Amino acid sequence: MPVKCCFYRSPTTEAMTWSENMDTLLANQAGLDAFRTFLKSEFSEENVEFWLACEDFKKTTNAEKIASKAKMIYSEFIEADAPKEINIDFSTRDLISKNIAEPTVKCFDEAQKLIYSLMAKDSFPRFLKSEIYKKLVNRQQVANHKKWLPFL
């Protein structure tokens, strides 16, 4: 039987890798959950929810589903007074409004880039300084030490 070599990351190492960049954080379910908790505490979870909705939308292949998902994203995040309205500039919002009649999987790309950039420059650095992140890393470090030093 061939031996599989793999790089094992402890939970502490895993949580600490989230600080490398936002892509690492968003690609990890536990990291994403912690980031969402943080954003909810700041009343700005609509940004990550929009980003996730766009990621899901881009995987859509059926034309009917593209149209229905696009309308759902538009009504939930883009249109004026949407329940989870994201903060994007007028020209981006206007372009989406014009393209929503015949949507493609790329119709939200500009808005998604803007929101990603906003999260990367603003929310992500605050998350890394937050008590939520610090407590998570500390809790995992304590658990790791107890695993290696069971007499503690």
Kindly give the confidence (pLDDT) of every residue in the chain, 152 residues in length, as a single tens digit, with 9 standing for 90 and above: 443 333 334 445 678 888 889 999 999 999 999 999 999 999 999 999 999 999 999 999 999 999 999 999 999 999 999 999 999 999 999 999 999 999 999 999 999 999 999 999 999 999 999 998 988 888 766 555 554 545 54
What is the distance between the alpha carbons of residues 128 and 138, in angstroms, rounded to a whole number? Answer: 13
**Nearest by Cα to 11 from 101, 146, 118, 116:** 146
Tens of pLDDT, residues 89-101: 999 999 999 999 9
Q: What is the pTM of this model?
A: 0.81
Give the CATH number of domain 45-122; options: 2.30.42.10, 3.40.630.30, 1.50.10.10, 1.10.167.10. Answer: 1.10.167.10
In three state form, how does the secondary structure of 38-106 look?
A: HHHHCCCCHHHHHHHHHHHHHCCCCHHHHHHHHHHHHHHHHCCCCCCCCCCCHHHHHHHHHHCCCCCCC
Tens of pLDDT, residues 61-90: 999 999 999 999 999 999 999 999 999 999
